[in-house]
Amino acid sequence: MKTIMSILAFLVYSTVYGQHKLPATDNQQVTHVKIKATIIGFLKWYKKEQADTAKKPYSITKGGYPDTTTDFRIDTAGLEIYLKQFEKTGYVSETYLNSLRLYFKRIDDELKLDSRHRQELFKVDGLDNDWVLDTFEPEIILNHIKEGRFDKISSIYNKAITRFRISNLVQLLFTLTRYKDKWLIDYIGYDATSQYSMARQ
């Protein structure tokens, strides 16, 4: 009987006091703070990176008009240098980097089949917009970061999704994965559930 009472007393003590290091609500708050810091940090970095684009010593594309002897293609070496800049920020995951690689591979595959690139300048779908924010007007996001609000954050284990609302028209969605103690961005898109959303235009 004493043994049973001792076990019960130990279980009660463990339940009440043993998990007192960090309450679940604090865990969630810490998680949300880290997620917000990742997203805001990334957007601020990307705004600065966009402003400095002209100074970059590499190009994502190569060849083509007016050099009629070369094909207009994606420069894979330049692309990897570009992606390295993203990796160094510590804000994005390998999943995100691979999605950008795939994005440019699709463009390159289409360019292989297009014979116009030696004879003329032409618009290349996917290269004429901001591919990171998937818009022709990245300034409507990057110039209004301070006005944005996180109105939804959901996380479970090492995955999270959040909505960053800048206006009724601009509602960014981010998915993230936790690696050790950091949250890294896997995907950036738009919430198209609102009838006014930019993604529905």
Q: Which domains does the chain have, with CATH numbers?
A: 24-200 (3.10.450.50)
Task: State pLDDT tens for residues 76-109.
Answer: 999 999 999 999 999 999 999 999 999 999 999 9
Task: State pLDDT tens for residues 153-171.
Answer: 999 989 999 999 999 889 9
**Predicted confidence (pLDDT) at residue 128 exceeds the cutoff of 90:** no
pTM of the entire predicted model: 0.78
Query: Cis before residue 66, ω within 30 degrees of 0?
Result: yes
Show the CA angle centred on residue 6, arms to residues 5 and 7, nearest 5°.
90
**Predicted confidence (pLDDT) at residue 2 exceeds the cutoff of 50:** no
Task: State pLDDT tens for residues 34-54.
Answer: 999 999 999 999 999 887 765
